[in-house]
Amino acid sequence: MTTFLGMPTASPTVHLRTGESFPDAARTGLADSQQRHNLRVATTTIREKRAGVVAELDDWEQLRAAGAAIKDATLAELPDHLERFEAAVTERGGTVHWARDGDEANAIVTRLIQATGETDVVKVKSMATEEIGLNEALATAGITATETDLAELIVQLGDDRPSHILVPAIHRNRSEIRDIFRDHMDDVDPGLTNDPEALAGAARLYLRRRFLSAKVAISGANFGVAETGTLCVLESEGNGRMCLTLPRTLITVMGIEKLVPTWRDLEVFLQLLPRSSTGERMNPYTSMWTGATEGQDFHVVLLDNGRTATLADPHGRSALRCIRCSACLNVCPVYERAGGHAYGSVYPGPIGAVLSPQLTGVKDNPSLPFASSLCGACYDVCPVAIDIPTMLVHLRAEVVAAKREEHRVPTAEAASMTAAAWTMTSRRRWTAALRSLSLGRVARRMPALPPPLSSWARSRDLPQMPRETLRDWWVREGSDVPPAAPEEDA
């Protein structure tokens, strides 16, 4: 089934790719022992909390299935739901803008802020605005955007990059955060300690001045309800509610896949999201608003940025079910060791390994589909049952096909796969190849393997090869039933 939104597509922009491949970037993360320690402690804590609250629900699997079904049905009729949403927002005094890519979205938001005459705005944590690099675009236009989510504020003050969808500063420990606050916060107590209460108090004082002076706020949205034009933000600190109510101009940037048709559908996700993200039964702050309040100017920017192309891919569209809970990150052994920066995208971890290449095309993100052990833990915890391992295999096939089109001369990988296929189609060749593996015992004693094996062995230990193959052992033991073997040459 092909779904077409009737919109021209444009190239996705900004924070979905870097020039460095995942293996190269991951080496930096693996060498950072402090980061690996911080990640292990944080993800272990969140994993245990999530497992506890999920186990309380007897119908968790039914909720997962319901979430997946609602998302799939919504995506199948997305054009209709978007039109209903636009009509409802407009009817209630809001203005809807359509953005094909990040550049268009940034231009729209910049123009709206400039119309107010303001140069300082506050922001609620938003993955969509991270994706399009809105802060950087506003800075170019002379507008300062202050992040009000504590973790996002830490990242912003430290001139750092987010490394986790839900906890952007997860790679930082309390002492590092204290140092950032001391160096970059105005009027901070020089004797500030790394006590969590003291750090939260310093951030509260810093942000309170900005909340009370800001005339413009920017938010994302966890969900939009098509039937009423309602938007919904879930957060844990109350900063979102301050941003949504105090400023006189509110601009919301939302990906087009965030819609649910009705309030009844929203109820399912309000159970799935908090349990999967922070391991809580319900979210501390759930803010919903419908249209503009009295005296407030309200705008919604609906962002495509590659989502239409993803929707058109029958194998990859289920990535658009994602509700950004980050449960898949917290169970991923690759993420826990390499860290979020290695993925080169605002969407790290298993979901980033599929979502980023889907949004940009695999040619722009060829290494991310391989940033996984395919262990399947991400699928087990996904609240909307996205089959990430299967999608990764699909994307890997696309990467191989893309390389084949680009390179007339086969790559070393392609040549290796061709040789392996030739070997495995003959019992005689396969048996000889297995026996030759015993030579690996000699190679294991070598200080370094020659190219191209050196590329493989650079980050892996060469396993100890057995002296004898299973097939030879079987024959030597005199068994009457030989082990399974490839067919003879045709």
Query: Residue 356 pLDDT > 80, yes or no?
Result: yes
| C-alpha to C-alpha distance for 450 and 65, rounded to whole angstroms | 50
| C-alpha to C-alpha distance for 331 and 379, rounded to whole angstroms | 10
> CB of 228 within 8 A of CB of 134?
no
- Positive or negative, the Cα torsion across 23, 28, 32, 37? negative
> CB of 177 within 8 A of CB of 154?
yes
* Mean pLDDT, rounded, for 297-302: 97
φ, ψ of residue 122 in degrees (nearest 5)? -110, 155
pTM over 0.75: yes
Reduce the DSSP state of residue 287 to 3 states and report it: strand
Q: What is the 3-state composition of the chain as percent helix, strand, coil, each rounded to the nearest 5?
A: 55, 10, 35
- DSSP secondary structure of 237-264: SSHHHHHHHSSSEEEEEEEGGGEESSHH
- DSSP secondary structure of 324-378: ---HHHHH-HHHHHH-GGGG-SSS-HHHHHHHHHHHH-TTTSSSGGGS----SHH
Q: Which residues make beta-bridge pairs with 224?
A: 231, 259
| Predicted local confidence at residue 269, as pLDDT | 97
Q: For residue 472, name the pLDDT band (cuts at 50, 70, 90).
A: confident
| Predicted local confidence at residue 13, as pLDDT | 54
Write the CB contacts of 450 (distance below 8 Å, at least 6 apart in sequence): none
Q: For residue 230, name the pLDDT band (cuts at 50, 70, 90).
A: very high
Domain 77-311 belongs in CATH node 3.30.230.70: no
Query: Residue 458 pLDDT > 90, yes or no?
Result: no
| Predicted local confidence at residue 490, as pLDDT | 42
| Predicted local confidence at residue 1, as pLDDT | 42
φ, ψ of residue 328 in degrees (nearest 5)? -65, -30
| Predicted local confidence at residue 363, as pLDDT | 86
Where do the DSSP E strands lie in 100-198? 120-123, 144-147
Mean residue pLDDT of the chain comes to 90
Q: DSSP label at 439?
A: G
The closest of 391, 381, 390, 354 to 64, measured between CA atoms, is: 381
Chain-centre distance for alpha carbon 368: 11
Q: For residue 481, name the pLDDT band (cuts at 50, 70, 90).
A: low
| Predicted local confidence at residue 348, as pLDDT | 95
pLDDT digits (tens, 9 = 90+) for 395-414: 999 998 888 877 777 777 77
| C-alpha to C-alpha distance for 97 and 211, rounded to whole angstroms | 26
Lowest mean pLDDT among 57-71, 144-158, 330-344, 459-473: 459-473
| C-alpha to C-alpha distance for 215 and 160, rounded to whole angstroms | 27
